[in-house]
Amino acid sequence: MTPHGKLTRRDLLVGRFRRAVEHARASNVASTESAQTKAVIQGRQCLAYRNLVCTTCYERCPEAGALVIDSGLPRVAADKCTGCAICRDVCPAPVNAVLMVGAKAEGGVR
């Protein structure tokens, strides 16, 4: 909370979607490794790639610019992704379209 009682976007997420965020934070604390993981959208599972509108991951990502929508398709900006995995938690695709990969693998995944 800011001194004026205003909520930041992050606070909104903490408030409304507390569980997902706490889970993500807890796992970040518990494992230094996970801090290095990044989200990757798998096009073959992603609903937006089927010409169905879906922007859930983008809407709920707490890091400005980490998830972008390009012509309707979500994409992770790896340099901004903190690895919090909220996008994975909220992805409504029948087979989850977000894969969390280790930082080392990052170069190999687009």
Q: Which spans of this chain sit near other proteins (rule: CB under 8 A)? A: 1, 4-9, 11-13, 15-17, 20, 42-45, 47, 49-56, 59, 70-73, 75, 89-96
Residue 73 Cβ, how far from other proteins at the closest point, in Å? Answer: 5
Closer of 9 and 25 to other proteins (Cβ)? 9
Taking the CA atoms of residue 52, residue 9, residue 41 and residue 29 in that order, the dihedral angle to the nearest 10 degrees is -150
DSSP-derived 3-state class of residue 40: strand
Closer of 21 and 81 to other proteins (Cβ)? 21
Residue 104 Cβ, how far from other proteins at the closest point, in Å? Answer: 20
Residue 53 Cβ, how far from other proteins at the closest point, in Å? Answer: 4
Closer of 38 and 88 to other proteins (Cβ)? 88
Residue 32 Cβ, how far from other proteins at the closest point, in Å? Answer: 26
Please choose, from the candidates 86, 80, 78, the residue with its C-alpha nearest in 3D space to the C-alpha of residue 102. 78
Q: What is the DSSP string of 59-107?
A: HH--STTTEEEETTEEEE-TTT-----HHHHH--SSS--EEEE-GGGGG
| Amino acid sitting at position 76 | V
